[in-house]
Structure 1
Amino acid sequence: MAWVSLIVAGLFEMFGVVMISKLHKDRNWQSVLFLTLAFGASFVFLAYSMKTLPMGTAYAIWTGIGASGGAILGMLLYGESKDWRRLIFIGMVLGAAIGLKLVS
């Protein structure tokens, strides 16, 4: 269950990053609310997963999901570069996260 919680935490982290971008564009209270809720939920699920998983592993995977997911969402939603080199490095981040799962 800790791994599921960690993945959910990463997904909320991705949503929070999207809300940061939305807040810069819209500057409304809904964006602030969703931003706060997303990161709050992300921290709650991360904390729950850290009851079982080592802190270093949990944090690395959480940030990996957030960083790579944020980059992918930037490509899909905001027209950021889809250069093949960028995709390779995103794959490397995800590969490292999977590697941490395999050795934990």
Structure 2
Amino acid sequence: MGTDDKQATASVTADVSATATSAVKRYAIAPGYRVNVRSGPSTQYSIVRSLAAGSTVPIHCQKPGEWVSGPYGTTNLWDNIAPGEYISDAYVKTGSDGYVAPRCA
């Protein structure tokens, strides 16, 4: 493989990585709320951390879980914001009552 081929491969790899990273949209947490981040899709799971009021989060995938009521309605959708970290979609302004990201595996 020549130098030009290696540079082209590196360029394509960088473009694919940038596209994958930019594909995850960030969403605002309901104003004035500190939201507990759980290790699974239910309030029965342990609290991993808390999000400060005014935070935004990426939603990598979503899955059904415990029903929760919050400022954006009542839902059983939980948003995966990082590996092993979930928050109820009832506290996230997605503009939708349904899925806005792929279902979690």
TM over 0.5: no
- The structure richer in helix per residue is 1
- The structure richer in strand per residue is 2
Structure with the bigger RCO (C-alpha within 8 Å, sep 6+) is 1
Query: Structure 1 length normalisation: TM-score?
Result: 0.24
Higher CA-based Rg? 2
